Structure 1
Amino acid sequence: MLNKDGTFNIRKQNVSFYERINIFHSLVSMSWIRFFTVLVFGYLTINIVFASLYTMIGTENLTNIRGTNALDQFIEAFFFSAQTITTLGYGQIAPLNLPANIVAATESLLGLLLFALATGLMYGRFSKPYASIKYSSHALIAPYQEINGFMFRIVNPKRNQLMEVEVTVTLSLKRDGTELRDFHLLELERSKVVFFPAMWTVVHPITDLSPIYGTTEKEILEKGAEFIVMIKAFDESFSQTVYSKSSYTSKEIKWGEKFIYLPKHSGTEVTIDLSKINDTYKAALS
């Protein structure tokens, strides 16, 4: 249901284009590479459209067009369009008649609006708060106190401070013989911490009240178990609440292993090697 990056792998059918589209969300959420690709593609497309309009009107209606063939004239019209839409205007080329002036005025207005929109999107992307929490690649079924426990690790690799961090873990299991699923909110050893400066091993004690009490690895696989993780925290940098979500499928659970102890103490300083967040060792289950 939930991918490792927090996105849902649910496909919705028979949804109209207007109900499905969300341009602002797409532009703010996509990767930086895709975002700049969209900006460059849009910029080139608009200039090509207006260069075509200037060519259709006639390049003789623009001053100092020196091209002797259609391609050279189109290229000059393209760069005139780029100067107009950015309100740069070197002055070498200028419109002469009313149609050319109307197109140039329309393009300059469109340029002001589009650059304001692009600036707003850039600000929105930079100011968008999100919890950059790193999860262990696998969850574990490991010995915990006198019983066993389901556990995974999380860490905040950034320098921003997260406070009032809350974790909820929901277990999704298939019903026998059907594709229907039951959802169980798991009881955690600790579901909230005031500060999150280091690392946290989240543990669900497998007591006789746990929905996976007495369940074997084979049964977990057969039931298509998925542990859905939701984290809520207050980000001090943005002064806003941020969220992070991920999941562990039954195939991403290691049985009979424990996480190694990572913190190293040196005087008053504690060092954590994040490259070892997934390191484990064998441990017999209770």
Structure 2
Amino acid sequence: MTTSTFTEHAVVRPQVDEDIKDLGFGAEVARSSHQRLLNRDGTFNVVREGLDPISALSLYHWSLMISWPLFLTAITVAYIAINALFAVAFLLCGPGALQATTAIPEGSTFARAFFFSVQSFATIGYGHIVPVGLAANLLVTIEALINIVGVALATGLVFARFSRPMAKIIYSDNAIVAPYRNVTALEFRIANQRSSQIIEIEAKVILSKIESVGGVTARKFYELKLERSRVTFFALSWTIVHPIIPTSPLYGLSEEDLLTADAEIMILLTGTDETSSQIVHSRSSYKANEVIWNAKFSNIFMRTRDGGVIGMDVSRINDIERQTRM
């Protein structure tokens, strides 16, 4: 059954208590924004200006949220910058601040000061160069203190990043409107990208669309009731299904209606990471142009020769099959 059958019945609007106000985006944003509210990667598409840059900056949370390549790059840049700063400081102490105990090849004085700083910072201490004078020894003392604090902070951040569980959920590229038990249903498919297991995973799906209420255009939010909102084990994939029945906010709407209403389907997943026993979250969304009508998901399960199911091919999670309009 396709969208053409929706108009055969009177449209029954959802219950008033299903009308969610604004989800925390604020009435002004909900009323006037025509942009995507929730990006596909789960970040919010809002901007906050006027904050004090100092008070708003949280290096700790930034260090936890960035990717591993960026985190390691930041640590490397900070390490080089600190040693370069101390190298300049040693040079400012004068040409006799760093003395060689053995004959060393001629080279750049900055390079010699830089690598002495690296040796001091890492407590390597080859002994080829020694600080001479009060100023140079004070710099070594300060550098040793920064080394103790810096190593402790870097170790703590690395531990926090490893101990912080994060859900890595694969969402199908598109949601679909597909035939489902003599009606139609909105569906999308998810899978766990990590080898760790998530248990007791729960899904909440919310429809956002622009409506005209009393002659005033406003964005309204409706929670979509799911065929199954929770699964105990998330070992393979999960096709999340919202049956489009007369009580559904999608009932009677066509693909053109959703595009005109700037509809957005927002998803929140919550589950328990089995390894750490901590709660993990994942968010994503589909805009109206990312919903494919008259289609169904392809079978991604793999079977043995005797017909037994042995697993699934995650690379096919986005595969769909077009259906003939009825």
TM-score range, shorter chain: over 0.9
Structure 1 residue 179: deviation in Å?
6.4
Aligned partners of 1:153 and 1:199 also within 8 Å: yes
Structure 2: 5+ residue stretches without partners: 1-36
Structure 1 residue 109: deviation in Å?
0.8
Structure 1 residue 147: deviation in Å?
0.9
Q: Which amino acid aligns with 2:112?
A: E
Aligned partners of 2:39 and 2:45 also within 8 Å: yes
Aligned partners of 1:59 and 1:77 also within 8 Å: no
Which stretch shifts more, 236-245 or 10-19?
10-19
Q: Residues 11-33 of structure 1, C-alpha deviation per residue, up to 9 Å, x if partnerless?
A: 11212213421211111111122
Corresponding residue number in structure 1 for 2:297: 259
Aligned partners of 2:170 and 2:192 also within 8 Å: yes
Q: What's the secondary structure of 1:103's corresponding residue?
A: helix
Structure 1 residue 59: deviation in Å?
3.1
Corresponding residue number in structure 2 for 1:272: 312
How far apart, in 1, do the equivalents of 2:232 and 2:324 lie? Answer: 33
Corresponding residue number in structure 2 for 1:17: 53
Structure 1 residue 92: deviation in Å?
0.9
Corresponding residue number in structure 1 for 2:118: 82
Aligned partners of 1:170 and 1:184 also within 8 Å: yes
Aligned partners of 2:301 and 2:309 also within 8 Å: no
Work out whether 1:226 is the aligned partner of 2:279.
Answer: no
Aligned partners of 1:138 and 1:278 also within 8 Å: yes
Structure 1 residue 269: deviation in Å?
4.9
1:33-48 paired onto structure 2 within 5 Å: 33-48=69-84
How far apart, in 2, do the equivalents of 1:120 and 1:230 lie? Answer: 30
Which stretch shifts more, 54-63 or 200-209?
54-63
Q: TM-score, normalised to structure 1's length?
A: 0.94
Aligned partners of 1:143 and 1:285 also within 8 Å: no
Q: Identity of paired residues, percent? A: 38
Work out whether 1:283 is the aligned partner of 2:319.
Answer: no
Work out whether 1:28 is the aligned partner of 2:68.
Answer: no
How far apart, in 1, do the equivalents of 2:148 and 2:42 lie? Answer: 36
Aligned partners of 1:189 and 1:205 also within 8 Å: yes
Structure 1: 5+ residue stretches without partners: none
How far apart, in 1, do the equivalents of 2:239 and 2:325 lie? Answer: 18
Corresponding residue number in structure 1 for 2:231: 193
Structure 1 residue 285: deviation in Å?
5.9
Q: Residues 92-133 of structure 1, C-alpha deviation per residue, up to 9 Å, x if partnerless?
A: 111121111111010011011111111111112222201111
Work out whether 1:146 is the aligned partner of 2:182.
Answer: yes
Distance 1:271 1:247, change over 3 A: same
Distance 1:182 1:19, change over 3 A: farther
Aligned partners of 1:148 and 1:285 also within 8 Å: no
Structure 1 residue 85: deviation in Å?
1.1
Structure 1 residue 175: deviation in Å?
2.7
Q: TM-score, normalised to structure 2's length?
A: 0.83
Corresponding residue number in structure 1 for 2:5: none
